[in-house]
Chain A
Amino acid sequence: MTRPAPEPAAVALPQVASVLVPPTRRTADRPALWWAGAVTLALLVLFALLGPLIWREPIAQDLSRFLQAPTPAEPLGHDHLGRSVIARLAHATRLSLVLAILCVTVAMIAGTLTGILAAWRGRWVDTLLHGLSETLVAIPALLIVLIASAAGGGGLTMLFVGIALVQWIEYFRVVRARSGVLLAGPGVEAARLLGLGPVHVLRRHLWPELRPVLLTMASFGIGTAVLTLSTLGFVGVGVSPPTPELGLMITEAFPFYSEAPWMSLAPVLVLAATLLGLLGIRGTEARS
């Protein structure tokens, strides 16, 4: 039975489509925006790596230094408990980046494996996993992380599990959809006719197609994870104090905004730099 191929739906989602089809990578001439993003991120990573080594005491209190103004040794001064703001900022940046990268890595591996599995095996495996993702995708991500955080009680482990659980869904859905198309295509059919095994199909047919998509998604995912962590900290249900965390630092500093604006602005700046840096290297916002 032959039916004309359905015309591409007019309700195609341009946003998603631009994520799925990453811009062609040309190493030769990258736009200035890419470089700006890359340099920003490199500086942030450097700060997260070296900062905690230079300023070692993020939770040591010294109330005689209440809201002390910045000095050359302490470029961001001290907060309302006399703690070094730059030490807290460096440790918070490291925490955010490490947690984000960890979440994205775990979510990507889990999502890719389950996605390929669902597309490959089909039947009940697919029904089960797809049903689960249909349910989870309807719940706002922040809600899932909030519930996980409530279960963890201020611990980092449950926050990590929550964020990874949320991100897993995206990788699963994209990988499953893409692999489904690829596995049904003529390339894989030819490989199977030639008697080449699943390892070949995975390495030569699926991976090269999935890799660029996964990379683009990972840069989104790191931004989302950093943002989620700081949002939870900001509303007071994330990492429990006194652990330095960007969102928590913003909340703590805000009442002292008129006396010590640098204290509130520094974590905001780090957060904005992370998100804008990721935006820059992604480059999907660029338009023709």
Chain B
Amino acid sequence: MLRLLRRRALQAVGVTLVVSTACFVMIRTLPGDLAFRIAAGRYGYDQVDAASAEGVRAELGLDRPAWQQLLEWWAGLARLDLGTSLVTRASIADELGHALGASLHLAAVALAMGCLVGVTLGAAAAHRPGGALDKLTTLAVVGSRALPPFILGLLLILVFAVHLGVLPAAGHGQASNVALPAAALAIGLAGLFARITRDTVVQVRATEYVQFARTKGLNGRLVLTRHVLRNSGVTVVSYVGVQALILIEGVIVIESLFGWPGLGHALVHAVFWRDVPMIQATAVALALLVVVINTAVDVSTAAMDPRPRVKEVTP
């Protein structure tokens, strides 16, 4: 367990350093004079002159050697001093707090929906492999996985907001706002969950211990809950870690599409305006979120499955 946590901690540090350094390199290699760009972002394009650019340069310390600035950049991150937005001058820590809350809300609803629908469908399909329901779910799963999340989101907007008019297409604050973006994310997740659940349940049902439970006369419901689902759970939960990557990628796209004020929305906005401190903060937050989810998955898998085992399958 300790070894596992140490590996994840190393990963977290590595991820932060890679993203942070990339952002630093980015800010140094932006085309044109950085000070001019920032001044233009702040004061508007027709208000920029050499004097205001000089002001920005002196204020942000852009005239010192690169390695000094990189060390300072890292030191700032280590102190959790995320700086201020180059564009709005607002404190990034504040904005990050709001965005993180919104993203977690969306991700949690999507994950819950996806897991519930996917596991139910998968378990039902596994009941009779090769049956009509199994074939139907396979088709649905292939379809949902072939469609990229943004097209799914557009379809949902078209159907539920434009044609039926039952759910709002964009916005934030009311409870109904989360429905469409979460559904757009959940459909893709549910597809993968359904497949894994179906395959795992079929596998577990064929094992000797399930055969034995049946032979000794346990009724079907008890076999299902006590033996099949619990043992399948280990695999399904370990897949939440794989899903985390898909989920975070989806969050970036879906938030931009639905105008959901989360991390992904903030990141895309920051990329558009080249607001590098904001890019760094949101990108690090999103990347760390993946590591955190994976750590939680590791811990809960270890808790669910008492058999000690070497995690790595390949050397």
Tell whether B299 is near chain A: CB-to-CB under 8 Å: no
Residues of chain B touching chain A, judged by Cβ–Cβ distance below 8 Å, are 10-11, 14-15, 18-19, 22-23, 25-26, 29-31, 138, 142, 146-148, 150-151, 154, 158, 162, 192, 195-196, 199-200, 231, 234-235, 238-239, 242, 245, 248-249, 252-253, 256-257, 267-268, 270-272, 274, 276, 279, 283, 286-287, 290-291, 294, 301, 305, 307, 309-311, 313-315
The 10 A-B residue pairs with the shortest CB-CB distance in the complex, in nearest-first order: A135-B14, A177-B314, A151-B26, A142-B249, A150-B271, A235-B256, A140-B248, A237-B271, A139-B287, A140-B249
B255 and chain A: residue at smallest CB distance: A235
Q: In the complex, which residues 144-198 of chain A have their Cβ closer than 8 Å to any Cβ of chain B?
A: 146-147, 149-151, 153, 177, 180-181
Q: Is the CB of A139 within 8 A of B252?
A: no
CA distance A8 to B162 in the complex (A): 51
Q: Is the CB of A234 within 8 A of B253?
A: yes
Over the window 263-279 of chain A, the binary record of Cβ atoms lying under 8 Å from chain B Cβ atoms (1 yes, 0 no) is 01000100110011001
Of the candidates A134, A150, A177, the one whose C-beta lies within 8 Å of that of B14 is A134
CA distance A231 to B264 in the complex (A): 13
Q: Is the CB of A147 within 8 A of B23?
A: yes
Tell whether A32 is near chain B: CB-to-CB under 8 Å: no
CA distance A135 to B249 in the complex (A): 17
Q: Is the CB of A138 within 8 A of B154?
A: no
Tell whether A254 is near chain B: CB-to-CB under 8 Å: yes
CA distance A236 to B238 in the complex (A): 34
Q: Is the CB of B19 within 8 A of A257?
A: no
Q: Is the CB of B15 within 8 A of A138?
A: yes
Chain A contacts for B249, CB-based, 8 A: 140-143
Q: Main secondary structure on chain A at its contact with chain B?
A: helix
CA distance A177 to B314 in the complex (A): 6
Chain A contacts for B271, CB-based, 8 A: 146-147, 149-150, 237
Q: A138-B11, A146-B252, A181-B315 are in contact. Are A153 and B274 (CB under 8 A)?
A: yes
Q: Is the CB of A143 within 8 A of B311?
A: no
A-B contact count (CB 8 A): 150
Chain B contacts for A151, CB-based, 8 A: 22, 25-26, 29-30
CA distance A234 to B256 in the complex (A): 9
CA distance A227 to B249 in the complex (A): 12
Q: Is the CB of B154 within 8 A of A135?
A: no
Q: Is the CB of A10 within 8 A of B235?
A: yes
Q: From residue A113, how far is it (CB to closest CB) to chain B in Å?
A: 19
A136 and chain B: residue at smallest CB distance: B18
Tell whether A86 is near chain B: CB-to-CB under 8 Å: no
CA distance A141 to B244 in the complex (A): 12
CA distance A45 to B196 in the complex (A): 34
Q: From residue A262, how far is it (CB to closest CB) to chain B in Å?
A: 14
Chain A contacts for B315, CB-based, 8 A: 177, 180-181
CA distance A142 to B247 in the complex (A): 11
Given contacts A143-B283, A250-B150, A257-B162, 10 further A-B contacts (CB under 8 A): A13-B242, A14-B199, A147-B23, A147-B26, A150-B271, A181-B314, A234-B150, A234-B253, A234-B257, A237-B272
Chain B contacts for A254, CB-based, 8 A: 154
Chain A contacts for B242, CB-based, 8 A: 13, 15
Residues of chain A touching chain B, judged by Cβ–Cβ distance below 8 Å, are 6, 8-15, 131, 134-136, 138-143, 146-147, 149-151, 153, 177, 180-181, 227, 230-231, 234-237, 247, 250, 254, 257-258, 264, 268, 271-272, 275-276, 279, 285, 287
Of the candidates A139, A141, A237, A279, the one whose C-beta lies within 8 Å of that of B268 is A237
A153 and chain B: residue at smallest CB distance: B31
Chain B contacts for A13, CB-based, 8 A: 239, 242, 313
B291 and chain A: residue at smallest CB distance: A138
Chain A contacts for B313, CB-based, 8 A: 8-9, 12-13
Chain A contacts for B305, CB-based, 8 A: 10-11
Q: Is the CB of B146 within 8 A of A275?
A: yes
Q: Is the CB of B253 within 8 A of A279?
A: no
Q: Is the CB of A271 within 8 A of B151?
A: yes
Q: Is the CB of B290 within 8 A of A140?
A: yes
Chain B contacts for A181, CB-based, 8 A: 314-315
Q: Is the CB of A139 within 8 A of B19?
A: yes
CA distance A153 to B32 in the complex (A): 11
In the assembled complex, 10 residue pairs joining A and B whose CB atoms fall closer than 8 Å, in A order, are: A14-B199, A138-B11, A139-B15, A150-B270, A153-B274, A181-B315, A234-B253, A258-B162, A276-B146, A279-B146
Q: From residue B275, how far is it (CB to closest CB) to chain A in Å?
A: 9
Chain A contacts for B235, CB-based, 8 A: 10-11
Q: From residue A74, how far is it (CB to closest CB) to chain B in Å?
A: 24
Chain A contacts for B238, CB-based, 8 A: 11
Q: From residue A73, how far is it (CB to closest CB) to chain B in Å?
A: 29
B135 and chain A: residue at smallest CB distance: A287
Q: Is the CB of A10 within 8 A of B18?
A: no
Q: Is the CB of A11 within 8 A of B146?
A: no
CA distance A250 to B153 in the complex (A): 12
Q: Is the CB of B234 within 8 A of A10?
A: yes
CA distance A274 to B223 in the complex (A): 44
CA distance A131 to B13 in the complex (A): 12
Q: Is the CB of B310 within 8 A of A6?
A: yes
Of the candidates B138, B268, B274, B311, the one whose C-beta lies within 8 Å of that of A146 is B268
Q: Is the CB of B286 within 8 A of A143?
A: yes
Of the candidates A136, A142, A180, the one whose C-beta lies within 8 Å of that of B252 is A142
Chain A contacts for B248, CB-based, 8 A: 140, 142-143
